Amino acid sequence: MYLLRRQAQKPSPEDDSAQKDAKVKELRAALGPLSGRNLKYCTDGCLRRYLEARSWNLDKAKKMVEETLRWRATYKPEETRWHEIAHEGETGKVSRANFHDRLGRTVLIMRPAMQNTNSPEGNIRHLVYLIENGILNLPEGQEQMSWLVDFSGFSLNTNVSVKTARDIIYILQNHYPERLAVAFLYNPPRIFQAFWKAVKYFLDPKTFQKVKFVYPKGKESVELMKTFFDVENLPSEFGGQATLKYDHEEFSRMMAEDDVKTAKFWGFDEKPCHIKNGLSGAEVVPGPLPIAPIAS
C-alpha cells in the first residue's frame, strides 16, 4: 500500500516540466528587472541551467546568477577578441574541434603537453574565450559541450599549476553551470595521478561525475568513446580514425569570423576584421567577413 501511494504521488513528466517552468519564472521575478547584456544573457534556458546546478533551489540559484552577472560585468568575456589571446593558442593547446559528438555538441580539444606560456591569467582567458566560442557555435536546442583531453607527451612541467586549475574549475562550475556534458581524460599517465588528487577536491559532485578516464586498451573505454563519437571523425589520439591537425593561421581566421558573430549577438558596434597573421602578436586588419547566423 505504501509503495502504491508513493507511485501515485510521483509527478508525471508533464507536471515536472510545468513545475520547472514555474521555477524559471520565479527566478526571473526574484532577479528583478534586467537590461542590456544581463537581459541578453538570462534567457529561460540560462536560468534553467542555474536552477539545475543548484538542485532547483531558488535562493541558491538566484545567488549563483547574481555572482555570475557581477563576474561578467568585470571580466567581460564577451569582449575578448582572438587577436588579444592568439599567442596563447599558437601550439593548439586548446581548440574547437572541426567535428561534433553524436548529439551535435561542440567539442573542445585540450592538449596539456602543448602548454606554451607561463601566464595563469592568459591561460584562463584563452580557455574562457574558447568556452564562449563553443557556446556561440552550439546548434539550436543544445546547451552543452564535450571536452577531449589528449595526454600525449604530458609532463608535470608543461601542465598548468594546481592554483590555475582550481581557478578554471571555479569559473566553469560557477559561471558556466551545466555547460559541460562530459570530459574525457584520454590515456593519462601515472604522473598525472598526483595532479588529479590535488584538483579533484575542487570539483562538485555533478562535475566529478562528468569526468571520464578512458584508456585505449580498455574495452569499456573504447565502447564508451564509440557511444559519444563517430570513430571516423574522432582523431587517432582518442582512438579514432581521423588526423588531429592544428593550423594556427587557419584557426585564427575562423576565430576572427566568430568574433564578428559575437559582436553581432551582443549588439556591439564593431567593424569586421580578420587575422592577417595567426602567429604571435596577431596583426588585425580591416576586411569583410561573412556573418553566419548564430546558434541560439
> How far are the Cα atoms of 77, 111, 218, 254 from residue 155, in angstroms, in the given order?
30, 11, 22, 30
What percentage of the chain carries pLDDT values higher than 70? 86
What is the per-residue pLDDT for 269?
A: 65
pLDDT tens-digit series, residues 136-168: 999 988 999 999 999 998 887 878 889 999 999
Beta bridge partners of 275: 284
- The tens digit of pLDDT for each residue in 172-211 reads 999 999 999 999 999 999 999 989 999 999 999 999 999 9
Q: Is the pLDDT of residue 66 over 50?
A: yes
Three-state secondary structure call for residue 96: strand
Residues whose CB falls within 8 Å of the CB of residue 291, separated by 6 or more in sequence, listed in order: 260, 261, 264, 272
Dmax over CA atoms of the chain, in Å, equals 74
DSSP, res 79: G
Lowest-pLDDT range of 40-49, 229-238, 275-284: 275-284
Position 281 scores a pLDDT of 40
How do residues 166-181 score in pLDDT, each as one tens digit? 999 999 999 999 999 9
For position 292, what pLDDT does the model report? 33
